Amino acid sequence: MRYFTRRNMPYRLVNISSFTGLIIASWLLAFFTASPAIAETPPQLFVTIEGVNGREATNVRNLLGIHAYHRQNAPGASRVRFLHNRAERDIFRALTPYGYYRIEVDSSLEQRDGDWHAHYRIQPGQPIPIGQVNIEFRGDAANDPQFTQLRQSLALRSGARLRHSEYEASKSRIRNLAAERGYYQARFVEQELRIDLDRYQADIHLIFDSGPRYRFGEVRISEGHLDEDVMRRFIGFESGDLITSNELLMLQLGMSDSDYFSRVEVQPLWGEADEDFQVPVVVEYEPNQRTFYQTGFGYGTDTGPRISFEQNRRWVNTRGHRYQGLVQLSEIKTNVGASYIIPGQRPQTDQYAIRGAWVDENTSNTRSERLTLGVSWQKQLTRTQRIVALDWLDERDRIDGERRNSEFLLPSVQWSRVHAENRLNVSDGFRLSLTLRGAAESLLSDTDFSQAHLAAKTVIRLSDRVRFLTRGDLGISASEDFSKVPTSLRFYAGGDTSIRGYGYRSIGPRNELGEVLGARHLLVGSVEFDYEFRPNMRWAVFLDSGNAFNDITEPMRTGAGIGYRWQSPIGPIRVDLAHGFSYPGDRIRLHLTIGPDL
């Protein structure tokens, strides 16, 4: 036998033909041994359920253990049989919450072509009805009319179908009402749902002992940046009043919304209740930043670029007085205003203001410079805001080529309401306002004058991607000598937020030179559909029509077009291409606006 070495490593010379045969034989042996494992496909598990639909079927699928492997690789055979044997129990557990207690299940499990097939035919039977219902309130709740109304509104009634979810929801409503109305010791003494399969009915027996109803005790407010009497004007209840969670919530929200505080917590100290069940309430807070500055930017084809600066002194003194200053600049308008605000009897809903503003406005048709000084009383009426005001107006303007100076003492009242969950991205909502104002020649005014202006806008979601928007303006004026009424008290139409397809304030009665003079009355309507083709992007089509007029017989002016909407990080941006259809030579106009829909 011969050897040779390479790098001191021995090699043995072998016969090539023998070596090749050995390799082939080994490969064939490995292939035929391993090929069944390679070729074998894991068995699948298929589950079929019949006899139930809707929420019941969904619950069966969720609770049926074997269904977790539906259309997937099956576990081992013993595991499959174990899950199949448990299926009837799972089905009963899934259907009894819906009132089914006479359930029959025809089940089968077999293997076909290597796969498992489980089949369940369910006959749920008739749902069990509610038999006797005994709901008893003890303690002070027995004489509380709110609990009487609650008992009458519960879905647990004799003859009705039993649903466990309604049973649990009814108990939760009882507990929640007790918590809302200050029953600190309230509890269920007995709570029993008896299922009688022989009579096939469910009897409900609930005894709820509310214990005593607690009352408000002293309110403890720590000393801070506002006088104590100002702080206590936020409180809408008195010591000895019956407790409601709504009163506590309104106190916390009222203080939070007042802008005086950055954090507010209102807590009843149940553990310190006295023998008369009066509970002290502690109010903890942190003052807000005293001075707030804000800068805003915007753009509109009517106004051009806009910029605003605002200073808000959240409290000037310990009486809670505040100051607001505002400067707004655009190509056509300059506005400088200030307000000194005094909190009212209820600071969260009432406030008085001494205000002033200087406005210089210059459009293609009019020029107006005016100074306004006045006082106002603002009150929040549930969901509606009301402002009663008295303003003195000194205005210099140019109408029909004539420069004039007008003075008016204008009492006014305005009601406004805005409803939307998200003002910057409105899904459904509306805005509504009504303003009434007037003047009398005998009371420091150039002529008798009265006016009403109603404005509304709605956003209605028709589907996940389609919205329907409407807008309307109605204005009516009356005056002995309308020629003495200044520019700021007249109506105009046309522009980005009026009738698109026409220039800003370009619609209204005109003089011989074609200048728009402003009108006594206003009527404008708009309809619009928009479609969200991508997240935060919409196409829109719209139709606007209306007029500013002195005579109702004057024809309406109409514009229509298409638009693009982008819900940008800085707010909604609207780009519209609109065409007017009322004047010779009307052309397509571009309208660009930035700001919320409502």
pLDDT at residue number 16: 40
Look up the CATH number of domain 44-123.
3.10.20.310
pLDDT at residue number 32: 46
Query: Which residue, 528, 567, 524, is CA-closest to 423?
Result: 567
pLDDT at residue number 41: 79
Extract the tokens encoding 103. Answer: 């359930």
pLDDT at residue number 425: 85
What are the sequence ranges of the domains in the chain? 3-38, 44-123, 130-209, 215-287, 291-594
- 3-state SS, 2-28, equals CEEEECCEEEECCCHHHHHHHHHHHHH
8: pLDDT strictly greater than 70: no
Three-point CA angle 131, 132, 133, nearest 5°: 120
**Taking residues 95-117, what's their average pLDDT?**
93
44-123 and 130-209, same CATH topology: yes
Query: What average pLDDT is seen over the chain?
Result: 90
**Taking residues 389-410, what's their average pLDDT?**
90
Classified by CATH at the fold level, domain 291-594 comes out as Porin (2.40.160)
321: pLDDT strictly greater than 90: yes
Quick one: 166 exposed, middle or buried, by C-beta within 10 A (0-12, 13-18, 19+)? middle
2: pLDDT strictly greater than 50: no
Amino acid symbol at 416:
S
Query: Which residue, 406, 401, 352, is CA-closest to 374?
Result: 352
pLDDT tens sequence across 348-395: 999 999 999 999 998 877 789 999 999 999 999 888 999 999 999 999
The DSSP call for residue 584 is T
pLDDT tens sequence across 220-259: 998 899 999 999 999 999 999 999 999 999 999 999 999 9
**Higher confidence at residue 509 or residue 598?**
509
Per CATH, domain 215-287 is 3.10.20.310:
yes
CA distances from 205 to 93, 186, 194, 235, 377 (A): 23, 17, 8, 41, 55
Residue 5: φ, ψ to 5°: -120, 150
**How many CB atoms sit inside 10 A of residue 92's CB?**
14
407: pLDDT strictly greater than 70: yes
Residue that the structure tokens 């690789």 belong to: 73
pLDDT at residue number 19: 44
pLDDT at residue number 42: 87
Residues contacting residue 34 through CB under 8 Å, at least 6 positions apart:
none
536: pLDDT strictly greater than 50: yes
pLDDT at residue number 565: 96
86: pLDDT strictly greater than 80: yes
pLDDT at residue number 13: 37
51-65, 394-408, 557-571: least confident range: 394-408
**Taking residues 105-123, what's their average pLDDT?**
93
pLDDT at residue number 470: 98
Rounded Cα gap, residues 268 and 263, in angstroms: 17
Helix, strand, coil % in the chain, rounded to nearest 5? 20, 50, 30
405: pLDDT strictly greater than 50: yes
Rounded Cα gap, residues 232 and 235, in angstroms: 5
Look up the CATH superfamily of 130-209. Answer: membrane protein fhac (3.10.20.310)
CB 2 within 8 A of CB 13: yes
At residue 40 the predicted structure's pLDDT band, cuts being 50, 70 and 90, is low
Q: E strands within 139-176?
A: none
CB 108 within 8 A of CB 121: no
- 3-state SS, 426-462, equals CCCEEEEEEEEEEECCCCCCCCCEEEEEEEEEEEEEC
Residue that the structure tokens 């196409």 belong to: 539
Residues contacting residue 497 through CB under 8 Å, at least 6 positions apart:
302, 593
pLDDT tens sequence across 485-526: 999 999 999 999 999 999 999 999 988 878 898 999 999 999
pLDDT at residue number 3: 31
